[in-house]
Amino acid sequence: MTKVKSGGRALHLAAAAQGQGRFATLYASLRQAIAEGRLPAGARLPSTRDLAKQEAVARGTVIAVFEQLSADGFLTSRTGDGTYVRAAPVQILKPAADHRGGFRKPSIRTPQSSPFPVGASEPRPFRANVPAIDLFPRAIWGRLAGRYWREVSPRKLGDSDPRGHIGLREALVEYLAVSRGVRSEAGRVFIVPGTQAALDLICRAVLEPNGTVWVEDPGYVGARQLVRQWGATVVPIPVDDEGMRVPKDVPVSQRPRLVLVTPAHQSPLGVTMSLPRRHALLDQARRAGAWIFEDDYDGELRYGLRPLSALQGIDLDGCVIHAGTFSKTLLPSLRLGYMVVPDRLVEPLMSMMSLTLRFVAPMEQAVLAEFISLGHFGRHIRRLQEAYATRHAMLRSECNRLLSGSIELSTAAAGLDVVGWLPRGTSDVAVSRTLMSSGIEARPLSHYRVRRGRPGLLLGAAAFDEVAIRGAVSRMAAALENSDR
């Protein structure tokens, strides 16, 4: 407890939170005394020398506190006279009353809830959409990052092109042409903090109030909620074994302005959009004058046959925006993604990018450009493909052995996750809750649906080794057996 003599009275000043520095403690104590009126307006404070002795602190600390309180508007100094509390100090810290009745608080636009976890947490089997972080080549990345900082010139540490680091954009053009059949040049590539950021920019550029957006059902929840935030009318389009079931003969009033689709590896069912469906979608987009946002979130992660080329590769009308992310192939925390856009979107998006995000940190982009150009990215993808194939095979084997009749795994040849189908009539929400009580994360498929459909669970195996998978499936079997009793 601090005691300060002011105007012949001794004031007890409560010390600030334990562990703060002496400056912060004294500042908080004096500020609180002023706010509570224990140091009233016009009160003269002790000299800096006297207060320093009382508090057993350096006089320089007291001088710094007085200067800060003066700058913040609580104190005023008179040359040759001393330091005083300013007039009406309580009003500085308390809101003025609204004499017309109460206070009017600023309104808040109700946001869409986010489907993404808040804060870092250790993933538990079988959390979906999580890559094998344990396989990330940290040593190689560290060497490239160290070399970048040793060799970078100061002129490259200033502002950057809104589209991103030119070296990374050029590396992506070459890589995407070979791996995904994407046709582009560096000027049409934008580096963004991920797929969500890419979609947000596209919504800003092309969506109109109450514009119609087609989404896959079941589909990616993050995209669906984002376009709703922009006031779009969301139309769920069913998905089957060939991907989105593209409607025929759509009335003019119901034609979409934007279509969100995951053709290479549908999220969450994992199917690949057939070539006839792709052509049907492009034809509908041509008739409607619509844009197609192709989310290629894990198109490279295929274990068997080579996948179909990207939808963008067969687009002859310039309506497909191809977007990808390194969150699923490298690290979620890297926060780097990209989009390849048609020519007529380049200028609007450059202006919008400059106005909002400005540009993505170029240092990580430069390192990633080297990582790709030197072949490390390609080797890392091949390593992931082998590891994921092994981990998914283990999950399938253990589920067949211990959960036959309870969960039927879909055929998965790509990606991080696999669907575990449940018997019809089962509540996948109830099953998910039962498993969660045993430490198993298995998101219900109904979470991804707008309309009702077959119950199931989305199981992610990519982030867990074979020992973890065996143990988790065993716990799943025990939990489901106990719930049936």
Closest CA to 312 of 290, 296, 336: 296
- CA–CA gap between residue 207 and residue 231 (Å, rounded): 9
The stretch 314-334 carries a mean pLDDT of: 94
Neighbours of 61 (CB within 10 A): 19
- CA–CA gap between residue 21 and residue 23 (Å, rounded): 5
pLDDT class for 413, splitting at 50, 70, 90?
low
Q: Is the pLDDT of residue 58 over 70?
A: yes
- Taking each helix axis from N to C end, the angle separating 362-373 and 166-179, rounded to the nearest 10 degrees, works out to 40
**φ/ψ (deg, to 5) at 201:** -65, -40
pLDDT class for 91, splitting at 50, 70, 90?
low
- Would you state the structure tokens that stand for residue 220, as one six-digit string? 């990616």
Closest CA to 340 of 159, 129, 168: 168
Residue with tokens 């030119």: 166
The stretch 286-310 carries a mean pLDDT of: 84
- CA–CA gap between residue 318 and residue 343 (Å, rounded): 8
The stretch 22-48 carries a mean pLDDT of: 89
| CB-based contact 295:323 (threshold 8 Å) | yes
Q: Is the pLDDT of residue 112 over 70?
A: no
Q: Is the pLDDT of residue 318 over 50?
A: yes
Q: C-alpha angle with apex 298: 296 to 304, nearest 5 degrees?
A: 115
Residue with tokens 């003969």: 249
More confident residue, 54 or 299: 54
- Would you state the structure tokens that stand for residue 293, as one six-digit string? 């946002």
Using CA atoms, how far residue 479 sits from 114, 274, 399, 401, in Å, is 29, 38, 14, 15
pLDDT class for 9, splitting at 50, 70, 90?
low
Which amino acid is located at 182 in the chain? V
- CA–CA gap between residue 274 and residue 280 (Å, rounded): 10
Q: Is the pLDDT of residue 361 over 60?
A: yes
The stretch 222-240 carries a mean pLDDT of: 93
- CA–CA gap between residue 457 and residue 408 (Å, rounded): 10
Q: What is the pLDDT of residue 18?
A: 40
- Would you state the structure tokens that stand for residue 150, as one six-digit string? 């040793």
Beta strands in 241-319 (DSSP E): 243-244, 258-261, 291-295
The stretch 350-359 carries a mean pLDDT of: 90
Which amino acid is located at 384 in the chain? L
Q: What is the pLDDT of residue 285?
A: 95
Q: Average model confidence (pLDDT) for the chain? A: 88
The gap from C-alpha 112 to its chain's centroid, in whole angstroms, comes to 14
- CA–CA gap between residue 129 and residue 295 (Å, rounded): 14
**What one-character DSSP code corresponds to residue 133?**
G
Residue 268, preceding bond cis, omega within 30 degrees?
A: yes
Q: What is the per-residue burial (b if ≥16 Cβ within 10 Å, else e) of 221-246?
A: bbbbbbbeebebebbebebeebbbeb
First-residue to last-residue Cα distance in the chain: 62
pLDDT class for 419, splitting at 50, 70, 90?
very high
The stretch 292-321 carries a mean pLDDT of: 86
- Would you state the structure tokens that stand for residue 185, as one six-digit string? 């040049």
Strand partners, 261: 294
Which amino acid is located at 449 in the chain? R
Q: Is the pLDDT of residue 298 over 90?
A: no
Residue 407, classed as helix, strand or coil, is coil
| CB-based contact 313:296 (threshold 8 Å) | no
Q: Which percentage of the chain shows pLDDT scores above 90?
A: 66
**What one-character DSSP code corresponds to residue 37?**
T
Which amino acid is located at 88 in the chain? A
The gap from C-alpha 139 to its chain's centroid, in whole angstroms, comes to 25
Sequence length of the chain is: 485
Closest CA to 372 of 178, 82, 182: 178
Residue range 157-207, pLDDT digits in tens = 877 889 999 999 999 999 999 989 999 999 999 999 999 999 999 999 999
Q: Which percentage of the chain shows pLDDT scores above 70?
A: 89
Q: What is the pTM of this model?
A: 0.82
Question: Rounded to 5, what percent of the chain is helix, strand, coil?
Answer: 40, 15, 40
- CA–CA gap between residue 172 and residue 340 (Å, rounded): 10
Strand partners, 83: 77
